[in-house]
Chains A and B, each alone.
Chain A
Amino acid sequence: MIQRTDQLPTIELDGRQITFHPGESLLEVASRSGVQIPTLCHDPRLDPAGACRSCLVEVEGQRRLLPSCATPAVDGQKVTASPEHSPRIERHRKSLFSLYLTEHPGEDHPDGVERGAPNKLVRAAKAFGAEDWGKLENLRDDLLGDRSHDENPYIQFDSDLCILCAKCTRYCDEVESVSAITLAGRGSETTIATPDGRSLLDTTCEMCGGCVAVCPTGAMGEKKPKTHKMPVEAELEKVRTTCNYCGVGCQFDLNVDPAAREGGGEIVKVTSPTPAPPPPTPQPRGRTGGSTARTRCGKGRFGYDFLHHEDRLKTPLVRGADGELHPATWDEALAAAAAGLRGVQERHGKDALAFVSSSRCTVEENFLVQKLSRAVFGTNNVHQCAAT
């Protein structure tokens, strides 16, 4: 149902009247109307945690600053969200991010700040004038990280970059329903861990990489970009594509380092497009949006090594009379395959042949495979590996 905007409730935001749809949070109203509020623990797919405290705003009549991500807009509310309009918000952001930096390597990290993903904290700290208050020593365990030598090939956790926004654990719980990782410990020693500190491979983890995708600091990151000291994400070229591992059709971005391989370019990681802004009316959270909502499995996210692998075939090979494989043209290769298939058919009959296609094929390709099988070779022995 379309509501006329003059009937919608309004809030006053930094002096402007803004209409909203009942159920929207102050953060949603603000971002829709161009008022920038920093967030670190917010994600539209997760229940608001209100834990990072970046998004606090002033609401008239409330003694305390309130987290805009977790506070519903109320008709007639007067809200101040920008430092230019409120010295209290200005002091809040400056002191909050200064405090965060005491426990965070900021730009001093030996491996550079943005080893894996962009570091939202460092950007916010710069934007709001955070100061150097000195550094505290990191007491927290890296149960998944370097110090534990977790042998899983893809995911690495660095506690010194982690700001405990708990997006990774909440994503794993609320979106993936896997619960492989948890907040562990208490107080300043709180960290992210697996049960009994085991390797991720020995947990319920499905290697979906969602925890990596939602992490605002790169603390939960991909091993490869971290250990290979890849350029920061901002310097990579993104090529939007559709995953062809299966039929769900997840969208993602191949991140290409254009300078790699002597300027030939190399895919160094796979990320997901930023989810579309939340619709103005409240939606059930969690597994909504299917293929467009960044949810993706481990194959799409991590299974790209073959692309540049030195063993990867780049031209067809045909086995010669010497028993060895020799590079060939497509025409030669197809002719050899056709001759082989025809030979089997002639010697052993039509049903001696069977055709199996891959779940990585499109519907059209699958159609063509069964056409080839039935119309060209005259057998009904055709199967697709996802059909069982």
Chain B
Amino acid sequence: MNDGTKSRSEERTRKRGEVPDQLELAGGMVPGSAAIVAAATGDSEAHAYGVASFYSLLARPEKKLRVCTGLSCRLRGADEVLSAAREAGLDAEGYSCLAACDAAPAVLKGRETLPEVTPEDMARTGGDWQQLVSSSPRMQTVEGAPNWFGDVGSYDGPLVFDLPAGESEDTSALAAAAELGTPGVLDAIEASGLQGRGGAGFPAHIKWRAVAGMPAAPHFVVLNADESEPGTFKDREVMMRRPDLVVIGLAIAARAVGATEIYLYLRGEFTIPRRRIEATLARLSAAGHLDGLDFHIHEGQGAYICGEETALLEALEGKRGMPRLKPPFPVEHGLWGKPTLIHNVETIAAVPFIVLNGGAAFRDLGRGEPGTKLYSISGHVGRPGVYETPLGVSLDELVELAGGYTGTLKAFSPGGASSGFLPASERTRPMDYKHLADVGSMLGSSGVVVLDDTVDLRWSALEQLRFFEDESCGQCAPCRIGTRYLRDAVDRDIAGTRLSNGEAPLTHVDDAAWQMVEGSICGLGQIAALPLTSARQHFPADFPSDTPPKDSASPSEPEATK
């Protein structure tokens, strides 16, 4: 396998992976930076420029303050915060969800996320962005840095993640895994029924066995900590509170699939979780628990699409984060073309529990489908936060944990923007993979957003469409043009104007949505129409000028990922 000697061409290829980091050092997309980075990495100047222009944090380096304008933050006054910033003379921009929806409205200052920022906080800066501080009680000092934790809780006892317990030094899962050996670990993962928690719900053991059995070398393990699905912040909380589970889970996975190199891809806005992970890595490796393993941390530069696993691999390789065609899947053709196991943070963090307690113990915690689930919940509830419950609780049960509804329930998204909107009548439906797919929605990343009856669903759909339009990688026409076409149509519908050909704005949205589902390369384009199609289906009263859809686009199915 990896004997530590790399060929020259391999070294050159790996050097290219540094392009995004080097661009950050060179000040982002400013004249001359691409040339500097090209010289430092051996990549071409045009490629470096193309990369710089792709990632939000690199493309607009002059923006030091970014106000989240995701749905949860807009429900809690993000618009007022953004205009207060501009009134104070600050060069702030609106930005996609910061994975801090429980602390809405959130603001990114440099690379640090500030919770619950108010218009008054903005006014107090006197026009100097560096002076921005949040007056939120959530601000506390941890490890010498401004820091904060969200609300967490669990349904019944400590369960799998036990977020409130905080980091523990229990490394016994590593010893248990060593004792089980590779076949035993693989069997335990299979018996647990663990499904990918990144969104697709693909059975984990199939990927583990596939990578373990690939003849090509080396193998890689990649952690997907790009958490950017609007309404989702559970991975953040796992890394903040239980970084030990993440690191130990990765070590067990790597040993089981025959990998020595582990890449952690954290979204660039996760400065604080990154510090927690780094501290844990340092501690565990000093104690000798990570011998023979190399951990590489790679920071995202601001692109939701890089959560899609093949776009993530492209980003790790230092390129524009444009998803690859699948097949081949990463288990066969992953990082630098080698067999690669990619998992979401929550999936990986469940591994130590499974290895210690056996697959059945994990499986039995679920209601219908196996295991527990970390639900992020935000919007109109009393205590937004991350709650661990058996997989398959209903919205009503979850909201009860989260401090109850703060208004009259009108609609909710069970799995982030990608899951569209469901009406209040679905409040008792089990929120698991199958039951949500049955109604044309999905569990996805289980980022639950609750909307009360003050919210207009046409407006909400517009916000989600805008998100997908901003975050589409732009590679394929159905998504690149479709997201824009739908957003434009709803904009016109709200403004009461018509299409350029004189037709009513929503005339062709069903056909456009159908094309996005059928024609898009990756999951982003395949689901991007869902906020609109589901809102029209369930809330026709919010689309007063619309004629009801004749045959609405077939319920979109997220792509099968492996």
Which residue of chain B lies nearest to A172 when distances are taken between CB atoms in the complex? B46
Asked if B501 is at the interface of the complex by the 8 Å CB criterion, the answer is yes
Binds A, one of B8-16, B203-211, B481-489: B481-489
Q: A163-B477, A164-B477, A188-B474 are in contact. Are A91 and B519 (CB under 8 A)?
A: no
Asked if A185 is at the interface of the complex by the 8 Å CB criterion, the answer is yes
Chain A residues in 8 Å Cβ range of B35: 195-196
Q: Are A96 and B484 in contact (CB under 8 A)?
A: no
Asked if A194 is at the interface of the complex by the 8 Å CB criterion, the answer is yes
**A residues 73-115 with Cβ under 8 Å of B?**
88, 91-92, 95-96, 98-100, 102-103
Inter-chain CB contacts under 8 Å: number = 159
Which residue of chain B lies nearest to A52 when distances are taken between CB atoms in the complex? B477
Which residue of chain B lies nearest to A64 when distances are taken between CB atoms in the complex? B559
Which residue of chain A lies nearest to B29 when distances are taken between CB atoms in the complex? A196
Q: Are B519 and A190 in contact (CB under 8 A)?
A: no
Q: A164-B480, A186-B472, A190-B480 are in contact. Are A133 and B508 (CB under 8 A)?
A: yes
Asked if B557 is at the interface of the complex by the 8 Å CB criterion, the answer is yes
Q: B501: which of A132, A163, A181 is its contact (CB, 8 Å)?
A: A132
Q: In the complex, A146 Cα to B49 Cα: how many Å?
A: 21
Q: In the complex, A53 Cα to B478 Cα: how many Å?
A: 8
Asked if A183 is at the interface of the complex by the 8 Å CB criterion, the answer is yes
Chain A residues in 8 Å Cβ range of B59: 185-186
Bitwise interface map of B from 495 to 506 toward A, beta carbon under 8 Å scored 1, else 0: 000011101000
Asked if A63 is at the interface of the complex by the 8 Å CB criterion, the answer is yes
Q: A64-B559, A134-B499 are in contact. Are A188 and B484 (CB under 8 A)?
A: yes
A53, A88, A193, A194 — most chain B CB neighbours (10 Å): A53
Asked if B34 is at the interface of the complex by the 8 Å CB criterion, the answer is yes
Q: A134-B500, A185-B54 are in contact. Are A51 and B519 (CB under 8 A)?
A: no
Q: A99: which of B50, B481, B503 is its contact (CB, 8 Å)?
A: B481
Q: Are A95 and B515 in contact (CB under 8 A)?
A: yes
Whole-angstrom distance between the Cβ of B23 and the nearest chain A Cβ = 12
Q: Are A182 and B46 in contact (CB under 8 A)?
A: yes
Q: Are A203 and B46 in contact (CB under 8 A)?
A: yes
Asked if B83 is at the interface of the complex by the 8 Å CB criterion, the answer is no
Asked if A288 is at the interface of the complex by the 8 Å CB criterion, the answer is no
**B residues 209-242 with Cβ under 8 Å of A?**
none
Q: A67: which of B53, B325, B488 is its contact (CB, 8 Å)?
A: B325
Q: A179: which of B44, B473, B476 is its contact (CB, 8 Å)?
A: B44
Chain B residues in 8 Å Cβ range of A187: 469-474, 480, 483-484
Asked if B285 is at the interface of the complex by the 8 Å CB criterion, the answer is no
Q: A95-B512, A98-B511, A100-B477 are in contact. Are A193 and B521 (CB under 8 A)?
A: no
Bitwise interface map of A from 61 to 77 toward B, beta carbon under 8 Å scored 1, else 0: 00111010010000000
Whole-angstrom distance between the Cβ of B382 and the nearest chain A Cβ = 36
Q: Are A136 and B521 in contact (CB under 8 A)?
A: no
Which residue of chain A lies nearest to B484 when distances are taken between CB atoms in the complex? A188
Q: A65-B518, A98-B508, A134-B501 are in contact. Are A103 and B481 (CB under 8 A)?
A: yes
Chain A residues in 8 Å Cβ range of B501: 132-135
Which residue of chain A lies nearest to B305 when distances are taken between CB atoms in the complex? A186
Q: Are A136 and B485 in contact (CB under 8 A)?
A: yes
Chain B residues in 8 Å Cβ range of A131: 508
Q: In the complex, A64 Cα to B558 Cα: how many Å?
A: 11
Bitwise interface map of A from 128 to 147 toward B, beta carbon under 8 Å scored 1, else 0: 00011111100000000000
Asked if A333 is at the interface of the complex by the 8 Å CB criterion, the answer is no
Chain A residues in 8 Å Cβ range of B499: 133-134
Q: Are A136 and B519 in contact (CB under 8 A)?
A: no
B35, B469, B521 — most chain A CB neighbours (10 Å): B521
Q: Are B512 and A133 in contact (CB under 8 A)?
A: yes
Bitwise interface map of B from 27 to 39 toward A, beta carbon under 8 Å scored 1, else 0: 0000110110000
Chain A residues in 8 Å Cβ range of B140: none
Q: In the complex, A48 Cα to B324 Cα: how many Å?
A: 11
Whole-angstrom distance between the Cβ of B417 and the nearest chain A Cβ = 15
Q: A95-B512, A186-B53, A187-B469 are in contact. Are A100 and B46 (CB under 8 A)?
A: no
Asked if A184 is at the interface of the complex by the 8 Å CB criterion, the answer is yes
Whole-angstrom distance between the Cβ of A199 and the nearest chain B Cβ = 14
Chain A residues in 8 Å Cβ range of B559: 64
Q: In the complex, A134 Cα to B508 Cα: how many Å?
A: 9
Whole-angstrom distance between the Cβ of A92 and the nearest chain B Cβ = 6
Q: Are A99 and B476 in contact (CB under 8 A)?
A: no
Bitwise interface map of A from 44 to 62 toward B, beta carbon under 8 Å scored 1, else 0: 0000101111001000000
Asked if A180 is at the interface of the complex by the 8 Å CB criterion, the answer is yes
Q: A95: which of B31, B55, B514, B560 is its contact (CB, 8 Å)?
A: B514
Q: Are A53 and B519 in contact (CB under 8 A)?
A: yes
Asked if B303 is at the interface of the complex by the 8 Å CB criterion, the answer is yes
Asked if B343 is at the interface of the complex by the 8 Å CB criterion, the answer is no
Q: A92: which of B44, B470, B481, B515 is its contact (CB, 8 Å)?
A: B515
B53, B54, B478 — most chain A CB neighbours (10 Å): B53
Q: Are B519 and A184 in contact (CB under 8 A)?
A: no
Q: Are B46 and A181 in contact (CB under 8 A)?
A: yes
Q: Are B485 and A99 in contact (CB under 8 A)?
A: yes
Q: In the complex, A95 Cα to B518 Cα: how many Å?
A: 10
Q: A102-B481, A135-B500, A185-B54 are in contact. Are A196 and B49 (CB under 8 A)?
A: yes
Which residue of chain B lies nearest to A194 when distances are taken between CB atoms in the complex? B46
Whole-angstrom distance between the Cβ of A2 and the nearest chain B Cβ = 31
Q: Are B44 and A102 in contact (CB under 8 A)?
A: no
Bitwise interface map of A from 164 to 198 toward B, beta carbon under 8 Å scored 1, else 0: 10100100010000011111111111100111100
Q: A102-B485, A135-B500, A195-B35 are in contact. Are A53 and B476 (CB under 8 A)?
A: yes
Asked if B436 is at the interface of the complex by the 8 Å CB criterion, the answer is no
Q: Are A188 and B483 in contact (CB under 8 A)?
A: yes
Q: In the complex, A342 Cα to B169 Cα: how many Å?
A: 100
Chain B residues in 8 Å Cβ range of A103: 481, 484
**A residues 357-379 with Cβ under 8 Å of B?**
none
Q: In the complex, A53 Cα to B482 Cα: how many Å?
A: 13
Q: A188: which of B472, B507, B511, B560 is its contact (CB, 8 Å)?
A: B472
Chain B residues in 8 Å Cβ range of A64: 518, 559
Whole-angstrom distance between the Cβ of A1 and the nearest chain B Cβ = 27
Chain A residues in 8 Å Cβ range of B482: 99
Asked if A152 is at the interface of the complex by the 8 Å CB criterion, the answer is no
Whole-angstrom distance between the Cβ of B409 and the nearest chain A Cβ = 33
Q: In the complex, A169 Cα to B518 Cα: how many Å?
A: 26
Q: In the complex, A189 Cα to B303 Cα: how many Å?
A: 14
Asked if A204 is at the interface of the complex by the 8 Å CB criterion, the answer is yes
Q: B474: which of A48, A91, A133, A190 is its contact (CB, 8 Å)?
A: A190
Chain B residues in 8 Å Cβ range of A99: 477-478, 481-482, 485, 512, 515
The 7 closest A-B pairs by CB, nearest first: A134-B499, A190-B474, A182-B50, A179-B44, A95-B515, A195-B49, A182-B46
Apart from A135-B501, A186-B54, A203-B45, list 7 A-B contacts with CB within 8 A.
A50-B325, A53-B521, A92-B515, A163-B477, A179-B44, A182-B47, A194-B46
A-B residue pairs in contact (CB < 8 Å), sample of 27? A50-B521, A63-B560, A67-B325, A70-B325, A91-B511, A95-B519, A99-B481, A100-B477, A100-B481, A132-B501, A133-B485, A163-B477, A164-B480, A166-B475, A179-B44, A179-B45, A182-B46, A182-B49, A186-B473, A188-B469, A188-B474, A188-B480, A190-B480, A194-B49, A195-B34, A195-B49, A196-B31
Chain B residues within CB distance 8 Å of chain A: 31-32, 34-35, 44-50, 53-56, 59, 303, 320, 325, 469-478, 480-485, 488, 499-501, 503, 507-508, 511-512, 514-515, 518-521, 557, 559-560
